[in-house]
Structure 1
Amino acid sequence: MSVMVEFCESNLSAGTEEVRLRLLENPEIDVEVMEYGCLSHCELCLLHPYALVGGEVVVGENPDDLYEKILEAVKKKEEEDEMWKKLGF
């Protein structure tokens, strides 16, 4: 089951466009990448590259840091999903 990663168009200049493209080009991860006009996290948008991963905010100091943190968050979400499946949910 793919993990949703959402980006704010207003934050693309902070380097998230590069991160978005890297995610789309990475065949080793199962993500659904979406881009919206605004994600309503304007205080973050002005200061840092960020994204929502499975609905949770992930913030990086720079695009490379954000990419690594997104990969970690995706892995965590996949592990949680697998745990719930084993429990029958």
Structure 2
Amino acid sequence: MNVDLSRLMATEEKPGDYVGSDGLLYCGKCHTPKQMWLSFDPSTGGKKQTLVHTACKCQKEAREAERERAEHERFLQDMARRREDGISCPDGLR
């Protein structure tokens, strides 16, 4: 598996983002870090301080909301299949 680590470690800077006093890039919307220092170099496996991407608070919340939406959609599809098979929805949920 040949993965471009620099692309995976890159942080996307959006309008409003700023560099804090600690040198990390911060989200202009939720004001939480979009970068962190990692004491491991993924490209060599050595112990080296490496600046890597991390999800800010609003990115984490958006990811969680999408996961919940997808889970609810799967539930609705499962219930539709069960109704087609003649099995009723639990607790009257729809």
TM beyond 0.5: no
Higher RCO, 1 vs 2 (CA within 8 Å, ≥6 residues apart): 1
TM-score, with length taken from structure 2: 0.30
Structure number with greater Rg is 2
Larger helix fraction of residues: 1
TM-score, with length taken from structure 1: 0.31
